[in-house]
Amino acid sequence: MTIALTQPQSTHVRRPSFTLCTIALDDGCGTPHADPPRSETSAITAVTDKSRPIPSLPAEIHLEIIDIIAHRVPRSPCRDEPYDPADLDTLCACALVCKLWLSTARFGIWKGVRLSGRKKSMAFIRLLQVYARDSFPTLTIPSLGRYVAHLSVRETRGNAWDPKWLDDALPHLATYLPHVQSLEMERVTWEYLSSRSRTTCLQAFKHAKSLALRGFLFRTIRDMYNFLGEFTEVEVLTLDGVHWTKKNTPTWLFNSAVDINMPPMGLREVGFRDVPMEPVLEWIMAGSEYQRRVGNSGPGIEIIRMGGVGVSEARVIGKFLRGVGDSLRKVYIGFETDFVGRGDALVKEIELAANPNLEEFHIFGLVVPSPPPADPFEQELRPPQRALQALTFLLSQIRSRMRVLSFALYPADLRAMSAIDFEGLTRVFEKGVWSYVDEVRVVISNKGEYGLGKVVKERLKVLHERGVLKVTVGFDEREVL
């Protein structure tokens, strides 16, 4: 037996690798040669790494790895779902290996499509047409349209260098994208679209689970009701900057049986900003009341997001929160700048005690101005006026076991921070319902003043000692919608 330890020769610079070879050479008598001939030794030492089988993983492991990478790429990138662009590059590289990998990688590559310009949008339409079976019957690769789950379209302003495109593309998108679960439409005037585009849009995408309208304009409020009512399976509804040209809403619209669509029965999450709150919320409440009367009510709204809330919307918002009742779990609310001066009129309309299962409460836009300096000519010094007492009253109404609370402060300076009603907040957090809280996050959007975070930790000592207080000084990365 001869054991030869050899190193393969290669022109590439690589790590030394040795191959252990065991060769048995015997003669006719069965006795192995002590020293084989030189030619045989040369043949033995010619063994390299190429003679060894390359270890391989089962195909299921390959597909599982690709699937994990695909799930790391969000369908719609945002602050809440950041991702590494290298993951998308990896999926594109995997798609070029074979048909099996191509099919798996496509779920991550094409699950979210955002179209915002005529040139690229029409190029995407032509790509969908290439994969159509009727155009190329010999093509064996299935169309990528069936992988698209999130579709976001943004109409252009109609400039000469970038004309409008949505009316031309919408019928094709409705034809080639059959499995859209999330639809987002931005900067669209509904009545400017052709009848064909409107009909195909409502027929093809009515099974979407999530619908977001941003900068959307209808002719009348009735058109908006009928549009939203066509999406009967929507669970997440977001209206951001939605308006209608005719503002006069008739009073009989909610008091009589008129020909308008009912809101989706399975709504779980709603979000509103820069929208006339009263007609929209009244429409949703009227639909919920009707469903309860006929015994066909859904699971109820669990998440509410509202931005730009002012005193004028306080009554209808309070009524809406009371109507949602037990199903409410999370609230995201952003106040206007007049909350500091007129917050009492707003919070007295909101009764969070009617929501016994509330778990998370997130507040945005608490502007705190600096108090006026003391008058040196006054004989009696007046105690400073406490700021954000309306926030104390709002939190004191909560009767549920809170898990997460966050609010953003915009103090003018250190004096403004010291004027906040921390004593009242401390009394609120000492109550038993707040003993189960996991996190109270305070975001201070003022990096120019030093010591603002220290003030919060000192004044909310009851939370800081429990280890649940988190203070962030800088830009507020949270979003209402």
Averaged over 25-43, what is the pLDDT?
Answer: 46
**Helices 389-396, 422-429: inter-axial angle, 10-degree rounding:** 10
pLDDT in tens, 178-187: 999 999 999 9
3-state secondary structure of 171: helix
Predicted confidence at residue 6, as pLDDT, reads 42
Predicted confidence at residue 78, as pLDDT, reads 59
- Does 192 score more than 90 pLDDT? yes
Predicted confidence at residue 298, as pLDDT, reads 76
Q: How many C-beta atoms lie closer than 10 Å to residue 379's C-beta?
A: 5
For 372, which DSSP code? P
Selected residue with higher pLDDT from 37 and 391: 391
pLDDT in tens, 254-288: 554 557 888 998 999 999 999 999 999 999 999 88
- Does 245 score more than 60 pLDDT? yes
- Does 173 score more than 70 pLDDT? yes
Token representation of residue 171: 């019928």
* Closest-CA residue to 369 (of 425, 406, 419, 443): 419
- Does 42 score more than 60 pLDDT? no
DSSP string, 224-287: HHHHHHH-TT-SEEEEES-EES-----GGGTTS--S-PPPPTT--EEEEESS-HHHHHHHHHHH
Who's near 370: CB < 8 A, 6+ residues apart?
Answer: 411, 412, 413, 415, 416, 419
Place of tokens 């300096």: 373
Confidence of residue 10 (pLDDT cuts 50, 70, 90): very low
Selected residue with higher pLDDT from 45 and 440: 440
- Which residue type, as a one-letter code, is found at position 351? E
Q: How many C-beta atoms lie closer than 10 Å to residue 221's C-beta?
A: 22
b/e code 329-353 from CB counts within 10 Å (16+ = b):
bbbbbbbbeebbeebebbbebbebe
Confidence of residue 1 (pLDDT cuts 50, 70, 90): very low
Predicted confidence at residue 258, as pLDDT, reads 57
Selected residue with higher pLDDT from 136 and 445: 445
Averaged over 420-449, what is the pLDDT?
Answer: 91
- Does 430 score more than 90 pLDDT? yes
Token representation of residue 86: 């290298």
- Does 46 score more than 50 pLDDT? no
Place of tokens 């695909």: 70
State the chain's mean pLDDT as an integer.
82
Token representation of residue 247: 């503002």
pLDDT in tens, 318-361: 999 999 999 999 999 999 887 877 888 888 888 899 999 999 99
Token representation of residue 361: 């409460």
Place of tokens 């402060």: 409
* Positions of E strands within 140-235: 150-154, 182-189, 210-218
pLDDT in tens, 96-138: 888 778 878 888 888 889 999 899 999 999 988 887 765 556 6
Predicted confidence at residue 53, as pLDDT, reads 60
Predicted confidence at residue 107, as pLDDT, reads 83
Predicted confidence at residue 144, as pLDDT, reads 84
- Does 175 score more than 50 pLDDT? yes
Selected residue with higher pLDDT from 415 and 250: 415
Give pTM, 2 decimals. Answer: 0.81
Place of tokens 């900067």: 187
Averaged over 2-18, what is the pLDDT?
Answer: 41
- The residues spanned by each domain of the chain are 2-51, 322-371+385-481
**Helices 195-205, 166-176: inter-axial angle, 10-degree rounding:** 30
